[in-house]
């Protein structure tokens, strides 16, 4: 895994990371402030804040795909913003509409994120089959987003996987990350790397 240094991090990401890190900082009196180590499911909405992003790694992990249409100065980061639902729901599906694409192949799946330009065609996100399930234990998030799919250019890419992250029960700020190897299709061998951050609403 390539180590991210501040030289490569876009300014927006660096600032948001600092804010999120500060917000997620574990208080010394964790147990006294109500953080429980028992595993509890978080069913609700993981709101997607503007500093969430997606990256795609070439086969072999040698380099990242550059999306010239990314709003970030570092084009290997494709910034994503909340869609009509406000973010990713757990315990429920957020399927793509029918039809799922316009005549150019732009995704119309706009519930999780607003469809975002990726190399000239908009991609959207949806969940199919298995609803996402995420639990918190203390400050640690674990779970699955098996049905997570990225829709682009009349194609649907499975981007499901096991998620990990952190959660602050006082501020409800979360960070979720996972990676998913693309198997088959034009991006076979690429790995999608997802980083969602924002607040959780039950």
Q: What is the DSSP string of 122-169?
A: EEEEEE-SSPPEEEEETTEEEEE-TTEEEEETTEEEE---EEEEEE-T
155 forms beta bridges with: 152
> Does 190 interact with another protein (rule: CB under 8 A)?
yes
Residue 112 C-beta: closest distance to another protein, Å: 22
Please name the residue ranges forming H helices in the chain: 11-24
Q: Which stretch binds another protein (CB under 8 A): 4-12, 40-48, 56-64, 78-86?
A: 56-64
Q: Indicate the burial class of 6 (C-beta count within 10 angstroms; 0-12, 13-18, 19 or more).
A: exposed
- The token duo for 78 is 């494709």
The only residue of 4, 36, 61, 69 in contact with another protein, by rule CB under 8 A? 69
Identify the residue among 33, 36, 58, 91 touching another protein (CB under 8 A): 58
Binding string, 124-163, against another protein, x = CB under 8 A? -----------------------------xxx--------
**Residue 95 in the binding site for another protein (CB under 8 A):** no
Give the shortest CB-151-to-another protein separation in angstroms.
Answer: 13
Is residue 59 close enough to count as binding another protein by CB under 8 A? Answer: yes
Contact with another protein (CB under 8 A) among 37, 40, 84, 188: 188
CB 82 within 8 A of CB 110: no
- 2 near another protein, rule: CB under 8 A: no
Beta bridge partners of 199: 173
- Rounded-to-integer distance, Cα 31 and Cα 37, Å: 8
By CB under 8 A, name the binding residues for another protein: 58-60, 65-69, 75, 104-105, 119-121, 153-155, 184-190
């Amino acid at each position: 895994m390539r180590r991210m240094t501040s030289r490569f991090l876009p300014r927006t990401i660096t600032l948001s990371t600092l804010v999120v890190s500060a917000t997620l900082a574990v208080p010394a009196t964790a147990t006294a402030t109500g953080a429980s180590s028992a595993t509890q499911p978080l069913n609700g909405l993981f709101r997607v804040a503007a500093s969430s992003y997606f990256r795609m790694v070439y086969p072999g992990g040698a380099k990242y795909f550059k999306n010239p249409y990314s709003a970030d100065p570092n084009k290997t980061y494709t910034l994503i913003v909340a869609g009509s639902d406000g973010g990713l729901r757990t315990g429920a599906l957020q399927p793509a509409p029918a039809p799922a694409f316009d005549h150019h192949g732009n995704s119309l799946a706009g519930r999780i994120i607003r469809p975002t330009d990726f190399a000239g065609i908009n991609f959207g996100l949806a969940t199919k089959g298995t609803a996402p399930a995420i639990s918190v234990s203390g400050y640690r998030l674990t779970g699955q987003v098996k049905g997570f799919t990225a829709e682009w250019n009349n194609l649907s890419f499975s981007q499901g996987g096991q998620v990990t992250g952190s959660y602050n029960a006082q501020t409800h700020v979360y960070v979720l990350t996972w990676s998913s190897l693309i198997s088959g299709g034009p991006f076979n061998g690429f790995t999608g790397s997802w980083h969602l951050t924002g607040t959780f609403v039950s």
